[in-house]
Amino acid sequence: MNDSSFTSPNELLETKSQQGWSGCCIISEPQDASAGWQIYLHEGKLQYATSNVGQRPRLSCLWQQFSFNFPLPKIEQETSDYEQIYQWVSENQVSAVDAQQILRQLSQEALTQILSLGKARIRLSDTKLPGKVISHFSWQSLIDRPQIESWQKVKNYIKSPLSRLYLPQNNAFSFYKFWKNLTQNNAQFAEIASSQKISDWVNPLFGKVNLYELADLFAIQVLDLAGYLQFFIQGNIIEILPFNETKISSHPSAVTTRSLNTQPIKSDNKSEIKSAEPSLPIENNSSEASSVIACIDDSKTVQKQVTMILQASGYKVINITDASTALRNLSRQQPMLILMDINMPEINGYDLCSMLRRSQKFKEVPIIMLTGRDGIIDRMRAKIVGANNYLTKPFEPEKLLNVVKENVSVLTSS
């Protein structure tokens, strides 16, 4: 049944709890009609509150966030979150006392999201939770005002934690620049980022994930993650999409398997999961091999810098730190372009470049020399041995990308 007289979730809960009402309050996200929340009341007491979509990844994420002192049991494929917890109790995987703690904290988080909405479209239903009552809370005792106020600020730029975050591929380089700035100016984020590759973030965002999925993937508090992403969203780098418009990539580095199952069994709005390997920013390149760039440099710092810049723009990077094994490693994966340091032990870049030019396999592959020196003699020598271009270290990300694109475009147009 509909009840249009209520637009304030707070007012609704006040009235229905006083009436001793039993049933389900269905609350839609004002800016994302495909997502919403459910509050189950039993004789005026809150029995459980949850989302109406994305329950499984939300459960997995919040379990990690709340640091329960027992491991997460197996989550069944076709079970709602409440039914799953009830099943754990029935099978003695979780005690009734622990189940009440779990339900209380999950309900508190959902209630925080609901009360941060202010006003919303609300429907009332006689639907009740299955099985016997295992939880019974005063909803007022679950109110966390500081958290509600924090989420009200977040919702100025993220419509809902259930909405999808999407990084268009042509924004990947801008994402890298924002990322670099954030790591330099936010010590907490820098600590998190230091243990992850930028591609670990970019790939899930290519695939369209919500806050719970991304927070679960990196073991970050959902509210903290929202704060980090504010810069990217307000800078129009990351787009916000409704929950039900997602098509999640099955790229192996995109999202963990458990995070892909975003719909509870009763929802008809199932996410379509299909393979969507990010397309490359290069014209006339359809083969997987054509996306590969090799970087031959004995400096791990340079390798990391090159990899971050190029991966953010959709390239695959082969890292070779030992020049003596370069020919063997390059032969395994024919690269479209080679970046090569000049000053390396055992074999310097000039000699290696000359060797590659004598090989039929690498005769036409563009080679860009990397060096800390910028003398005319060095440039002439690089040209003599067959290098296509010369890049002085340290280099700006834009300069590296421009040199790569210039040489790739020459190769693909020939």
Of 105, 296, 297, 317, whose CA–CA distance to 198 is shortest?
317
Same domain membership, residue 299 and residue 265: no
- Residues with Cβ within 8 Å of 44's Cβ and at least 6 positions away in sequence, in order, are 16, 17, 18, 19, 20, 21, 22
Mark whether 170 and 147 lie in a shared domain. Answer: no
- Regarding whether 150 and 18 lie in a shared domain, the answer is yes
- Residue 50 has a pLDDT of 96
3 state SS of 396: coil
In a shared domain, residues 227 and 304 = no
Whole-number pLDDT of residue 254:
31
pLDDT of residue 69: 78
Q: What is the pLDDT of residue 272?
A: 31
Does residue 18 sit in the same domain as residue 53? Answer: yes
Domain co-membership, 333 together with 355 = yes
Q: Is the peptide bond before 161 cis (omega within 30 degrees of 0)?
A: no
Task: Look at residues 99, 131, 154 and tell me which one is the last residue of a structural domain.
Answer: 154
- 359 is a domain residue: yes
What are the phi and psi torsion angles at 97 (to 5°)? -65, -45
Those residues whose C-beta lies under 8 Å from the C-beta of residue 187, and which sit 6 or more positions away, are none
Indicate whether 362 belongs to any domain.
Answer: yes
Please indicate, yes or no, if residue 247 is contained in any of the structural domains.
yes
∠ CA 321-323-327, nearest 5°, is 115
- DSSP symbol at 127: -
Mark whether 212 and 311 lie in a shared domain: no
CA nearest to 7, candidates 32, 25, 22, 23: 25
* Count of other CB atoms within 10 angstroms of residue 2: 10
Q: Which domain does 92 fall in, by range?
A: 9-154
Residues constituting the chain: 414
Question: Three-class SS of residue 101?
Answer: helix
| CA 314 – CA 18 distance, rounded (Å) | 57
Tokens of 120: 């919303």
Of 245, 274, 303, the one marking the end of a domain is: 274
CB atoms within 10 A of CB 110: 22
Distance CA 19, CA 130 (A): 22
Considering the domain architecture, whether residues 25 and 140 belong to the same structural domain is answered as yes
61 with 170, same domain: the answer is: no
> Is 105 within a domain?
yes
Nearest to 32 by CA among 200, 218, 159, 211: 159
Domain annotation covers residue 159: no
**Domain co-membership, 105 together with 200:** no
Residue 33 lies in a domain: yes
Whether residues 302 and 352 fall in one domain:
yes
Q: Which of 274, 305, 338 is the last residue of a domain?
A: 274
Structural domain contains residue 2: no
Q: Is the dihedral of CA 335, 337, 342, 343 positive or negative?
A: negative
Per residue, the 3-state secondary structure of 307-333, as one string, reads HHHHHCCCCEEEEECCHHHHHHHHHHC
Domain count of the chain? 3
CATH code of the domain containing 299? 3.40.50.2300
Question: One digit per residue, pLDDT tens: the chain, 414 residues?
Answer: 555 566 899 999 999 999 999 999 999 999 888 999 999 999 999 999 999 999 999 999 999 989 887 888 888 767 899 999 999 999 999 999 999 999 999 999 999 999 999 889 999 999 999 888 888 899 999 999 999 999 999 999 999 999 999 998 788 888 888 888 888 888 888 887 777 777 778 888 988 999 999 999 988 999 999 999 998 999 999 999 999 864 433 333 333 323 323 333 233 333 332 323 333 233 333 334 457 899 999 888 888 889 888 988 888 999 998 888 888 888 877 899 999 999 888 788 888 898 888 888 888 899 999 987 777 777 888 888 899 998 988 888 888 999 998 888 655 555
Is 279 part of a structural domain of the chain? Answer: no
Are residues 113 and 150 both part of a single domain? yes
